[in-house]
Amino acid sequence: MKTAHDLVAQAKALTQEIALQDAAQAILDADVLLDVREADEFAAGHIASAVLMPRGLLEFKLSASPALASRDLNIVLYCKTSGRAALAAQTMQTMGYLSVRSLAGGFDAWQAAGMPVVKPEEPSFE
């Protein structure tokens, strides 16, 4: 019986990951940057220009989004540590998307490297 870790390892073997040192340029070059984490994770901080598309809704949102209808789009995905993004990339490849890559190490690695993050504004009590 396969575990979640087995499925992630299989997905990573079948998809392409972007090394952290190449991530900023890959994101600039991408047509779409998808954050496949949950809404609360996204709200706590995300990479600029990212579009929230939780992993659990991915197939449905892709099918309902005219902006993502073209299977030729250059798409970069990320999640917290890269597992969900790898699974999402594999799913998108199965759906016919031709250029889907995930960020190795995910948002945690991006943030740990000091890369820019969009965070919610703190309320002002002035």
Report pLDDT digits (tens) over 37-57: 999 999 999 999 999 999 999
Is the pLDDT reported for residue 124 higher than 90?
no
Is the pLDDT reported for residue 126 higher than 80?
no
Q: Which domains does the chain have, with CATH numbers?
A: 4-107 (3.40.250.10)
**What pLDDT is stored for residue 74 in this prediction?**
98
Instruction: Name the strands in the sheet holding 16-18, side by side, starting at the edge strand that comes first in the sequence.
Output: 16-18, 99-103, 74-78, 32-35, 51-52
Is the pLDDT reported for residue 21 higher than 90?
yes
> Distance between CA atoms of 61 and 54, rounded to whole angstroms?
9
Work out the number of other CB atoms within 10 angstroms of the CB of residue 60.
Answer: 10
pTM recorded for the entire structure = 0.92
**What pLDDT is stored for residue 120 in this prediction?**
80
